[in-house]
Structure 1
Amino acid sequence: MYGSLRQLLFRLPPETAHEVVVTSLRAGQREPFLSLLESRLQVRDPRLQTTVFDTEFPNPVGVAAGFDKNARIPRILGTLGFGHIEIGAITAEGQPGNPRPRLFRLPEDKAIINRMGFNNAGADVVADRLATTDPAVPIGANIGKTKTTPLEDAPADYLYSYEQVASDADFFVVNVSSPNTPGLRELQDREPLEAILSTLSDAGAHPLLVKLSPDLHKEAIADVVELAETVGLDGIVATNTTIRRPDSLAGDNASETGGLSGKPIADRATQTVRFVAKRTDLPVVGVGGIFTAADAYEKIRAGADLVQLYTGFIYQGPTVARDINNGLLDLLEADGFDSVGAAVGADLD
């Protein structure tokens, strides 16, 4: 059924289609529709349950930041079978983001390019929504820098956003790796990143994670991992979108600027997960190119304690979490693992 619906949605401009989907899901956040979705799409099995950074997850498959920027639909996303939802990125001040068009499909490549620019309603609005939301799964808050905030004032900017959502989110992700805010990636350098992470850590942000760019050189990734351990972070998210353009891209929009996500970055993201997992005992959240159970399992075996998807959700539809979780159970059984946690890092030896 989703194949036919996707054809209709793909006739609309991507951002318009996304708004249609979010608005429709928001309208469905009521009983008895939620219970109906739960009965059909949630996969409840103790083998999928996992505890990561002192937080219990019903399954390892989550929605990546960017899909629900403003915390409008976390309740129904959990009902669709996802084990956690990462909202945002949010910024201290609301901002419109970059000019449209800023979201592009590459159907031939099962990919998306975006240059959204942290468009969101602002930390105050998102905090109010979270305070009145009763999600069934853990909620992560992805925090970015307000575009107009000077880089030297970034720690205070991140701190303000954190303070607004602190009481209603279950974990917090520092986003310094989006390619769509001018100068943001400069905050991945050790000194400015340490200032941000230390400020948040001193304020009691826990569990606190940092999201890596797939475009960092290995030496820079290793430096961030070392810093994460020094500051006392609780995990690392690998990875964000990439500004690289593989030669294999066939979509008409391949030349658009912005961050590329989806199938073309799957291998690079998995390589980064493996690189990070070999260098730290901190939990790793694997993101990038996940469409199927096999995709998720590859990242889990490479060292990911949790996985997230966004582009795969768009192309696969609302049953994607159920399908992945059911497939993970088959893969765990085939390999003789009694839990998803037992499979984490199986390919690292």
Structure 2
Amino acid sequence: MNTKLYQNIIKPLLFCLPPETAHKYAMEVLKYRYKFIDTPKPDTIVKGLPVANKVGIAAGFDKDGEYIDTLAKLGFGYIEVGTVTPLPQPGNKKPRLHRFADSESLVNSMGFNNSGVDVLIKNIRASRYTGTLGVNVGKNFNTPLHKAVDDYITCIERVYEYASYIVVNISSPNTKDLRELQNGKYFRPLIDDLKTLMLSLDEEHNRHVPLFIKISPDEELDVVQGIIEVLCEFDVEGIIIANTTISKDVKNSIGAKGIAGGVSGSPLKESSRKSLRLAKQLSGDKLCVISVGGIDSAEEAQYRLSLGADLIQLYTGLIYKGPQLLKDILANKESSGLTGVEKIASLELSV
């Protein structure tokens, strides 16, 4: 899609609509526009995951897996769907998604709105995509924290045979007290239970599905250190850094004071970089690290890889820059190593 066409015509039209309506409309248009485009084939192994390139679409963009084939045809090297919960839920009250165009950011308080795990599986089965598919799982709003593990187990058991990797989302700021699961009281027992489950499912299905944890960019050093120590102790394969921020300073800087939800987009750039550096410093090469948040240019994508990210993901940058952002990043592939036939050291994962 031509940059001028998107910036001068399509984007202004979409931005006249409420954000959620615009997103739905844009995806339906892309579904038609890219219907007859070939899907790129995986030709690189990154920490055991076969990808067509190192740029994925982040969870939240396609919660119910309705547009898997379309996103693949856009050129994404891998796709992550969800966040999905065991039961359907409407999420928080609208308006719950706000644009701040001057800073190319969004504030969302969506609250894991999704059609439930059964609908997601139906959509995955209906897609023709054969590349790497991550499934991001969460807990239902009404499930108390001490029973959150039951929701994660339910989702993991249901999606296991369809997922290339599974992400446990414990960092959304829009589900009450969810981030408490990142702290010691809940975190270690949660990871112990989930890793035990994954090993059992590995044996049952005779295939290995890596487990990832998605964390917040707002945690203090000691919390992040504790998280990574536990992940390494239980041989969890990966970490996604980071979810949206609820930093008051960031919200004030974009004019979002008093608006509920987490900030994504360009203002998240510095905190995402900082969290990435810290994770690599603490984990070395033990974890597959996916960097997301504030990636809005080919230069930023390359910079995240230079900081040690194994893979990257787009979300808000795609809304403001359009599909051209992905094309620009991939056009820079020779210098950034975004694709190629070289095989990057595996963690002995068989997907």
Where on the TM-score scale, by shorter chain, does this alignment land: which range?
0.7 to 0.9
State the TM-score, normalizing by the size of structure 2.
Answer: 0.87
Question: Aligned pair in 2 of structure 1 residues 82, 249: CA closer, same or farther (>3 Å)?
Answer: farther
- Once residues 254 and 299 of structure 1 are traced to their aligned partners in structure 2, the CA distance between those partners, rounded to angstroms, is 29
Residue 246 of structure 1 contacts residue 264 of structure 1 at CA under 8 Å; is this kept in 2? no
Measure the CA separation in 2 of the matches of 1:279 and 1:231. 15
Residue 250 to residue 222, structure 1, CA distance change in 2 (3 Å):
closer
Match of 1:311 in 2: 316
Distance in 2 of aligned mates of 1:339 and 1:110? 35
Normalized against structure 1, the TM-score is what? 0.88
Q: In the alignment, which residue of structure 1 is the partner of 2:330?
A: 325
Alignment map for 1:262-301 (pairs within 5 Å): 262-280=265-283, 281=285, 282-301=287-306
1:2 aligns with 2:6: yes
Tell me, in whole angstroms, the C-alpha distance in 2 between the residues paired with 1:260 and 1:224.
Answer: 22
Larger displacement relative to structure 2 (160-169 or 245-254): 245-254
Show the counterpart of 2:261.
Answer: 258
Q: Measured at CA, do residues 254 and 109 of structure 1 come closer, stay the same or move farther in structure 2, by a change above 3 Å?
A: farther
Judge which range, 213-222 or 191-200, deviates more: 191-200
Shift of 1:24: 2.8
Matches within 5 A, 1:117-196: 117-196=111-190
Distance 1:294 1:61 in 2: 13
Q: Map 1:8-157; keep pairs closer than 5 Å.
A: 8-27=13-32, 30=35, 33-35=36-38, 50-157=44-151
Helix, strand or coil for the counterpart of 1:279?
A: helix
Asked if the contact 2:174/2:261 (under 8 Å) is kept, the reply is yes
8 Å Cα contact 2:44/2:341 also seen in 1: no
**Structure 2 CA distance for partners of 1:332 and 1:27, relative to 1, 3 Å:** closer
Query: Bigger shift: 78-87 or 252-261?
Result: 252-261
Deviations 1:96-149 (A, max 9, x none): 000000000111001111000000001111112112222143110111111111
**Is residue 225 of structure 1 aligned with residue 242 of structure 2?**
no
Determine whether 1:197 maps to 2:201.
Answer: no
Instruction: Return 5+ residue gaps in structure 1 as ranges.
Output: 343-349
Alignment partners' CA distance in 1, 2:46 and 2:189: 25
Shift of 1:331: 4.7
Residues 222 and 279 of structure 1 are in contact (CA less than 8 Å); yes or no, is this contact kept in structure 2? Answer: yes
SS at match of 1:89: strand
- Runs of 5+ unmatched residues, structure 2: 202-208, 346-351
Residue identity matched to 1:224:
I
Q: 2:214 aligns with which of 211, 220, 230?
A: 211
Distance 1:52 1:156 in 2: 31
The count of residues paired between Structure 1 and Structure 2 equals: 328
Higher RCO structure (Cα 8 Å, ≥6 apart): 2
The one-letter code matched in structure 2 to 1:104 is H
Q: Distance in 1 between matches of 2:20 and 2:74?
A: 21
| Per-residue Cα deviation, 1:221-268 (whole angstroms, up to 9, x for no partner) | 010000001111001111000001436966454542201011111111
SS at structure 1 position matched to 2:282? coil
Distance 1:332 1:159 in 2: 36
Q: Which residue of 1 aligns with 2:237?
A: 234
